[in-house]
Amino acid sequence: MSAEPRVLASGLNFPEGPAFAPDGTLWCVEARGGALVAWSERGLVRHDSGCLPCGLAFDAMGRAWFCDAKANAVRLLEPDTGRWETVATEVDGAPLNAPNDLAFDAIGNLVFSCPGDSRFEPTGVVCCLRPDGRVTTLLRDLYFPNGIAFSEDNRTLMVAETYGRRVWRGGWTAITASWHDVHPWAELGGDPGPDGLALGADGLLYVAALRSSAIKVVDEGGIVVRTIAVPGPRPTNVAFDPSGALGMVVTEAEHGLLLSYPDEGPGVTPFRPRR
C-alpha cells in the first residue's frame, strides 16, 4: 500500500502530461492555462504556449514535444532558446482533430492520440508522426483515444480508450511504424475510463483512472491487481522519475495537483530519440 503522496504543486489549471527532461527536470502542462510548466524545489517556471497543450514528451536534445488541441497540431518548445515550432497539422490530407497525448518509440516515431469529439461517437484515431515528417493513421473508430505507452523492448504499443473504458494493445514494428495484432486488452470500466499510462519496471501498467481518485495497476493479463489512492477525483496522467527521487508522479485536474509517490517505482524510462 502506497504512503500518502507529497504535493509538489497545487492550484495548477488542469495539469496533464508529466514528463522528465533529459536533465532530470520534471515538467507538465496546464491544459486550461495554456502553459508548459517546469517544476523544481525552487518553484514553477511557466512557458506560455498560447494554446491548449495536452500530452508532453521529450527527445534526447531536451526539446518538449506536445499536443495542441486548440491549434490541432503537434508542436515543440526548445526550452533553452524559447523557440516554438509547429511540426504536424494534418493526417491523410485532413486536419488533425484535437490531438491529446503522445509518446516516442526507440527510433523516433511519435505516436499520438487524436480524439477530436469522440466521447459519444467512435471517431477518434491514433496517428504516427514518422522521423521523415509523414503522418499516418494507425487505428480508427475509437471512443476518445488517450494515453500511450511503449513496452521497454519497443515491441508493444498500448493506448487508452477513455470512453471505451479499456486499453488496446498490439505488436509494434518501429522500422515500418506498424501496429499489428491490435486488440482490446484491459477492460477497466470507470466513468469515463482510463486516461494517461506509464509502464513500471515491474512489468505492470500504471493507469490514471479519470474521475476515480485512483491509479489502477494492471498486470500482463490485463487484470487490475491493485489501486493507488489519489487525493482528488480526476487523475489525468502518470510518469516515473528516472532518478527515483520522486518515484511515481501523478497529475490531478480537479484540484490542480502535481503529486509525488516516492515509494512507487521504478518505472520504464520513456524513449527519448535524437530527432
DSSP 84-109: EEEEE-EETTEE------EEE-TTS-
* Location of C-alpha cell 515538467: 27
Assess whether pLDDT exceeds 80 at residue 2.
Answer: no
Average pLDDT, the chain: 97
User: What is the pLDDT confidence band of residue 140, given thresholds at 50, 70 and 90?
Assistant: very high
Judged on CB neighbours under 10 Å (0-12, 13-18, 19+), 181 is exposed
- Grid cell in block for residue 234: 480526476
**Residue where the block lists cell 497525448:** 101
Looking at residue 22, its pLDDT comes to: 97
Cell of 140: 480508427
Q: So what's the pLDDT on residue 216?
A: 98
pLDDT at position 275:
84
Share of the chain above pLDDT 70, in %: 99
Query: CA neighbours within 13 Å on the CB side: how many for 181?
Result: 7
Is 162 strand, coil or helix? helix
Please state, as a whole number, how many other Cβ atoms lie within 10 Å of the Cβ of residue 3: 10
pLDDT in tens, 93-127: 999 999 999 999 999 999 999 999 999 999 999 99
How sure is the predictor about 177, in pLDDT bands with cuts at 50, 70 and 90? very high
What is the per-residue pLDDT across 198-216, written as a single tens digit (0 to 9) for each?
Answer: 999 999 999 999 999 999 9
100: number of CA atoms within 13 Å, CB side?
A: 24
**β-bridge mates for residue 64, sequence order:** 58, 77
pLDDT at position 183: 98
Q: What is the CA radius of gyration of the chain?
A: 17
Task: Please count the other Cβ atoms lying within 10 Å of the Cβ belonging to residue 21.
Answer: 17
Q: Considering only CA atoms, which of 221, 215, 220 is closest in space to residue 247?
A: 215
Residue 178 has pLDDT above 80, yes or no: yes
Strand 90-91 and strand 224-229: pairing? unpaired
Beta bridge pairs of residue 250: 238, 259
Query: Residue 250: what pLDDT?
Result: 98
Q: At CA 210, angle to CA 139 and CA 50, rounded to 5? A: 75
**Residue 121 near residue 97 (C-beta atoms within 8 A):** no
Contacts of 122 (CB under 8 A, 6+ apart): 141, 142, 143, 164
Residue 1, pLDDT score: 55
Residues paired with residue 209 on neighbouring β-strands, in sequence order: 194, 214
Residue 36 · residue 66 · CB < 8 Å: yes
According to CATH, the superfamily of the domain at 19-199 is TolB, C-terminal domain (2.120.10.30)
In tens, the pLDDT along 22-48 reads 999 999 999 999 999 999 999 999 999
- Locate the domains of the chain by residue range: 19-199
Q: Which residue has the cell 479519470?
A: 210
Contacts 24+ apart (CB under 8 A), 128-132: 128/177, 129/74, 129/87, 129/88, 130/177, 131/107, 131/273, 131/275
